[in-house]
Amino acid sequence: MHDCGRSSLGLLLCLVVGGCSGLPSRGAIATDGPLTAGSGEAHYCLPVAQGASITFGHDVFRSSGDEQLSVLDVELEDADGVTVQQAVFVPLLTTNYIGTYDRFPPPMADLRRSGLAESWARRQAVGRKPIVLDTAFPHELVLELKATAPRATATGITVTYEAGDDRFTVTTDTALELVSEAPCA
């Protein structure tokens, strides 16, 4: 299981969201395409120094169809003071997930301890070319987020993808707040 107590960031995240072991179990977000996000409304408040990057991986996506999906883009909704430096989809071969770390990429020793090293090795980066998600496994979206302001926010994460000849988007209700000067509200 993912041990949230390995860093002060992980401990704070556990306090904010109430735990980190296993896959998130909140209800799936509705979408008109075959890809759904396995999280409902959530708010994450994370300490991060302005100009620093963190790992954020708490949204799990599943395909309800049989055809392969081609992910084209990932972006933050209503982003203010935060940018996505990298976005990768990681197939979840276990019930653990990557979660949050105070740096990117997550430490390989932690990934090995959590049984996620093989999953991380099979990650696919979004942006250079469309990536194809294997429908046999759920996939965790892992972001490298960079805070460009003392208080940074976003109201969701949008994934644009194709299934067959159709293009779709799915947006999570994952609200993010990255703070460097004041504690989370």
The Cα–Cα gap between 184 and 9 comes to 12
Give tens-digit pLDDT for 74-90.
Answer: 999 999 999 999 999 99
Q: What is the pTM of this model?
A: 0.82
Helix H, strand E, coil C: the string for 160-182 is: EEEECCEEEEEECCEEEEEECCC
**How far, in Å, CA of 102 to CA of 121, rounded?**
20
DSSP state of 80: B
Question: What is the distance between the alpha carbons of residues 109 and 66, in angstroms, rounded to a whole number?
Answer: 35
The per-residue pLDDT for range 40-79, each reduced to its tens digit, is 678 999 999 889 999 999 899 988 877 778 899 999 999 9
Cβ-based neighbours of 182, under 8 Å, separated by 6 or more = 151
CA distance 172 to 59: 8
State pLDDT tens for residues 123-153: 999 987 778 888 888 999 999 999 999 999 9
Spatial contact of 54 and 34, defined as CB atoms under 8 Å apart: no
Q: Which domains occur in the chain, in start order? A: 4-179 (2.60.40.10)
d(CA 171, CA 141): 12
**Share above pLDDT 90 across residues of the chain, in percent, rounded to a whole number:** 54
For the chain, the maximum distance between any two Cα atoms, rounded to a whole number of angstroms, is 47
Give me the residues paired with residue 140 across strands. Answer: 60, 90
In this prediction, residue 56 carries a pLDDT of: 95
